[in-house]
Amino acid sequence: ADRVLKIIHVCCAPDYLSSLIKRPDLQENIFYFYNPNIYPLEEYERRLESFESTCKKSGVTFIRATYDPTEFNPGPQCLGEEEGGDRCTYCIELRLKKTAELCLKVGADSFTSTLLASPRKSLSSIDSAGKRVEDATGVFYEGGNLRCDRKSLSPLLKDVYVQNYCGCKSSLESVKKRRLEIEKRDQERFRRDYGSLIMLWRYREIGRASSRERV
């Protein structure tokens, strides 16, 4: 029987590696980098370079789409929205739909995504989006769980770029906002506790001096 060809959408190199650890059989298929959501261009290029480098080391077949950020247009109501809401649903479905369309072009039988390896994504939300795309295109969506344990993945990430936000401008701004809030909280805690710490330090110094005198 002819082998069933699958196209696997890739969101980033770390999740690509996690997918291969969980499912080594996926190496026999085509990996597709389509992520118009990634902002800014420099970040996109960094993730793309990491993806291509990792794929070449793995010896797999891969395709990269032309980067066109105007294709990612979730609407003004989604700007600034917390991760996991309508913006993310739109983003996931957009990328899965493009992957299914590529399947139709090249004659692949099914599609899936390394998004299923992301520890921060809802697997059920991804599967729901995949099923909607399947209904719309007629291409079979393969869901599941491509997360591997961190102990297996960590050694492979030594020379791989690991991003610190999901990808779009809103997610980047959300991360920056959280960092500022943490810094502000830490500064307030420092100012609040500084006097007590100085007193404790002086108290210990007096105690150590008394001990030396007794000796």
Handedness of CA 147, 53, 87, 103 (dihedral sign): negative
Q: What percent of the chain has pLDDT over 70?
A: 82
Query: Which residue has better confidence, 62 or 215?
Result: 62
State residue 191's pLDDT score. 65
pLDDT for the residue numbered 52:
98
Residue 215 above 60 pLDDT?
A: no
Tokens describing residue 94: 């957009």
- Containing H/E element for 78? none
CB atoms within 10 A of CB 116: 25
Average pLDDT over residues 18-25: 96
Q: Is residue 93 a contact partner of residue 113, using CB atoms and an 8 Å limit?
A: no
Specify the pLDDT at position 179. Answer: 78
Residue type, 147: R
Q: What is the pLDDT of residues 145-181, one digit of tens each?
A: 999 998 999 999 999 999 999 999 988 988 888 777 7
Query: What b/e sequence results for 66-96 when a residue is b if at least 16 CB atoms lie within 10 Å of its CB, and e otherwise?
Result: eeebeebebeeebeeeebeeebbbbbbbbbb
Mean pLDDT of 112-139: 96
Task: Give the model's confidence band at 205: pLDDT under 50 very low, under 70 low, under 90 confident, else very high.
Answer: confident
Residues 16-46, buried b or exposed e (16+ Cβ, 10 A)?
A: bbbbbebbeebeebbbbbbbbbbbeeebbee
Tens-place pLDDT, residues 80-125: 556 678 889 999 999 999 999 999 999 999 999 999 999 989 999 9
Q: How far, CA to CA in Å, does 63 sit from each of 8, 31, 209?
A: 10, 6, 70
Backbone conformation region of residue 107, classed left if phi is above 0, alpha if psi is from -120 to 50, else beta: left
| pLDDT of 66 above 80 | yes
Per the listing, tokens 């960094």 go with 46
Average pLDDT over all residues of the chain: 88
**Is the confidence at residue 211, as pLDDT, over 60?**
no
128 in Cβ contact with 99 (< 8 Å): no
> Which of the two residues, 84 and 194, has the higher pLDDT score?
84
